[in-house]
Amino acid sequence: MSSNSGKLNLFRKAVLSVVRRIPRGSVLSYGAVAKQAGYPGAARAVGTLMKQNRSARVPCHRVVRSDGKVGEYVFGGPRRKVERLVKEGVVIHGRKVAPACFKSVL
């Protein structure tokens, strides 16, 4: 294995670990996930991983944009993503998630 794939694996592992800890009813922005995973500035890369994720164990629908818009979602698009969030208790006004729902894992 190249030393590079080792690093990428580490990145993936760290990111998924953070996402798995996002509690029901709250969300985290792509950028915040990147930062908490130890890779500040890798927001887009986090999106790439969420896009690849196919595991129900990783609540990728809880990762949204920093401006409050939910962003994309492989399983059914933004509509479906909003449905799932609302169902979990996330408050959404218009197209944006209420600022109070952005919670760090602590």
User: Which of 61, 82, 90, 97 contacts DNA by CB under 7 A?
Assistant: 61
Q: Is 83 in the site for DNA (CB under 7 A)?
A: no
Q: Which stretch binds DNA (CB under 7 A): 58-66, 84-92, 98-106?
A: 58-66
Q: Read off φ and ψ for residue 57, nearest 5 degrees.
A: -70, -20
Q: Which two tokens stand for residue 68?
A: 């409050």
Number of residues that bind DNA (CB under 7 A): 33
Is residue 101 among the annotated active site residues? no
Q: Which two tokens stand for residue 83?
A: 């449905």
Q: Is 49 in the site for DNA (CB under 7 A)?
A: yes
Give 61: exposed, middle or buried? Use CB within 10 Å, 0-12, 13-18, 19+: buried
Residue 26 host element (H or E): none
Strand partners, 92: 97
Q: Which stretch binds DNA (CB under 7 A): 5-13, 82-90, 97-105?
A: 5-13
What residues line the site for DNA (CB under 7 A)?
A: 8, 11-12, 29-32, 39, 41-53, 60-61, 63, 65-67, 71-75, 81
